[in-house]
Amino acid sequence: MVFKDPLTAFGSLSVPFFISNIITLLGFLLATWFAIKYTNIFYEGRPLPKSWFLIITGFIALSLGEIGGFYIAYRDTPIITEGASILGATMLGVTLIAVGCYQLSREIS
């Protein structure tokens, strides 16, 4: 398994692509951390509602998909099943967040 240099792998787009991946990953990790911190403070000791559980799980899935994006983007010979699993993690994360937000809207009405 051979990996390409992330700063030269895509020519002149290498550095912007690498930085955008890092910023996206940091954004998902921060969103996960803030959501966990919010629920720990707001629900202190009470059970976590299903809506927030789904939202936090969705953020975790998006973070894992983005980490997998680093892995596959810089492989010398990417494998299609790896790409499909990363896409699946991203789609799962988006779906979980959408369902969690829907559940959250139902809880307040």
Cα dist from 109 to 101, 103, 104, 106, whole Å: 13, 10, 9, 5
For residue 33, name the pLDDT band (cuts at 50, 70, 90).
very high
pLDDT for residue 56? 97
pLDDT band at 55 (very low <50, low <70, confident <90, very high): very high
Return the structure tokens found at 92: 């799962």
**Cβ(46)–Cβ(78) below 8 Å:** no
Higher pLDDT, residue 53 or 12:
53
pLDDT of residue 85: 84
CA 59 to chain centroid, in Å, comes to: 5
pTM score = 0.86
Residue range 70-96: average pLDDT?
A: 84
User: Nearest Cα to 30, choosing from 54, 9, 59, 4?
Assistant: 59
**Mean pLDDT, rounded, for 30-52:** 94
**Two tokens, residue 98:** 């959408």
Q: What is the pLDDT of residue 40?
A: 94
Q: H helices within the chain, ranges in order?
A: 14-42, 50-73, 80-108
